[in-house]
Structure formats: structure tokens, C-alpha cells
Amino acid sequence: MESITAKRALIVGLDGAPPEAVQMTATPHIDRLLRYAAYTWNAQSTLPTWTLQCFVSVLAGVPADAYELMSDPEGWLEPRTYPVPSLFDLAHQAGLGTAMFNNWHPLDTLPRPGTVDKLFSSEGDSGVVVREACAYLLREDPRLCFVHLADPDAAGHKHGWRSEEQCAAVARCDAHLGVLLGALEERGWLQETLVVVLSDHAGGMVTEFLHGCDDPTYSHPLVTTVPWICCGPGVKKGHEIGAEVSICDTAPTAALLLGLKIPESWQGRVVSDALTTQ
């Protein structure tokens, strides 16, 4: 098995962005990434398709029912009590710098206290989040950096999933991604960084403006199917992944590429089809 192949990881969460909205929108930076990435437009979210729970799946490799969140009627959780380590735990224990920039305050509760060196949260204008993340990337060396952008979810709730407004929100996210990749490029880190761009869930169907919010078991494919794009050292280039991918597979794939030991408690699996050697 390969030893460490990526020096750092940047994970960008496009909240609520469905694959169709990304594909229908002019996204030059995502397009550029795809040329060097292994990707699928058919990755699967976890249930319930609620933001905090799904990002726990992304960063801690388990679906919500593994830690009894299904019983929470409000969709809130005490993530600090979820009984598995997150990527932040792993990176922090390995002495790697960690950072999280989010566009929705409840995500502050996702990392266990003390496992992120930099935690920034700002609701509303996602540009503020990206500016802060870029300033940090240009100044420090976070080896694990998670950036969350809320625009597609906000536009979906307000204007409907796959609406013109949601596509405009995806375009804003793409511009933000360009700025983040520009910061990596400026540091000379682009070739050595694992970049993952994904959504936590999509939406629509229950009503045009929701993503299964009232029903934790709601699993229509238009709500659960999300883009998952992975680019960096050890990753196939321009490769559409044929295997099934869950958002739970993000953490183990990133851990493997960062040389971190994958906890047995994680349910996600390494996306072998995305990798050149494993």
C-alpha cells in the first residue's frame, strides 16, 4: 500500500447542491478540477438528509443512525457526543494543523473541542467565509481544512431545488472554489493537496423547497444523490467513478491519502476506484 501521498486535504462542502444544478451551471473551476479528478454525480447522502448529520457522515465516516440521531425531532444533535473520532480528531492527534470555516453556526459543534486550531463561522455572505479561509491558507499551514458554503441550500429552501436561483448559488460557490484553489496555487501546494468537493444532500420532492426535513427516513434519489469530486496525489485523473460512493467514504479516503490510520468504528470505505494504487 502507498505511504502518505497527500500532504494536506481541503474539503469543500457545497451545502445542498444537487448534481443537476452543478451540471446545468457554468462552473469553470469545478470543470478544471474534474479534468484532474476522480468523480461521481451519483454519490449517496446519509439519512436523515439534514446538514449537520450529513457533515458528521462526511467527516466522521458514519451515518446518523450509528449514533442514535434519528430520534431527535429537530434534527439537531450534540455532535461532541457522537462516539466515533472525526478526521479532525485523527489529524489533530497526528500533530497536523486543522481548520474549519463554515457558513452555518451549528457546524461549530461538529469538531470535538480542541481538535481544530482555527474555527471560523459566519452566516449569510459566503464570501466572508472564503476570504477568511484564504487569508488563513496564505498565512498558516492547515493540513486538514474544511470549508462549508451554504448558498445552494439557502437558495434551494427559498427558491426551490434546481431553480435558476440555486444554479446562481452554485456559480457563486464555483467562484469561491476558484479563490480557494488560487490560494493553494499561490502557496505552491496545489499538486500535493487532496481536494474534495461534495454536497451533503440535495433536495426537492417532499416539497420543492425542502430536503426531507420533516421525515428523517425520506430517501428520494433527488434528495440523496450528490456530487463527489476528489482530486490530488494518488487520485485518478479525469475518471468517472463507477463504484457506489457514500458521503461516509470521504473521511476514510482522505485519511488513507493523508497517511492517517482509519478507525475501525468508521462505516465508510475507501473509494478504491478513485485511487491510482490501492
Q: Which residues bind Zn ion (CB under 5 A)?
A: 15-16, 51, 153, 200
* Residue (51 or 246) nearer to Zn ion, CB: 51
| Shortest Å, Cβ 212 to Zn ion | 11
Peptide bond into 48 cis (omega under 30): yes
| Shortest Å, Cβ 115 to Zn ion | 22
| Shortest Å, Cβ 117 to Zn ion | 25
Q: Is the dihedral of CA 182, 184, 188, 192 positive or negative?
A: negative
CA of 217: how far to CAs of 45, 206, 220, 224, in Å?
12, 12, 9, 11
| Shortest Å, Cβ 226 to Zn ion | 10
CA gyration radius for the chain? 17
Phi-psi region of 171 (alpha: psi -120 to 50; beta: other; left: phi over 0): alpha
* Residue (156 or 234) nearer to Zn ion, CB: 156
| Shortest Å, Cβ 41 to Zn ion | 18
CA of 22: how far to CAs of 27, 121, 170, 243, 260, in Å?
7, 25, 6, 21, 31
| Shortest Å, Cβ 194 to Zn ion | 22
* Residue (142 or 203) nearer to Zn ion, CB: 203
* Residue (94 or 206) nearer to Zn ion, CB: 206
* Residue (15 or 117) nearer to Zn ion, CB: 15
| Shortest Å, Cβ 89 to Zn ion | 22
Residue labelled with grid coordinates 476570504: 131
Cβ-proximal residue to Zn ion, closest one: 51
CA of 164: how far to CAs of 17, 24, 46, 159, in Å?
13, 10, 26, 8
Whole-number Å distance between alpha carbons of 61 and 64: 10
* Residue (223 or 258) nearer to Zn ion, CB: 223
Helices 250-258 and 51-60, packing angle to 10 deg: 30
| Shortest Å, Cβ 228 to Zn ion | 15
What percent helix, strand, coil does the chain show, rounded to 5? Answer: 40, 15, 40
* Residue (62 or 262) nearer to Zn ion, CB: 62
* Residue (25 or 51) nearer to Zn ion, CB: 51
Whole-number Å distance between alpha carbons of 55 and 110: 8
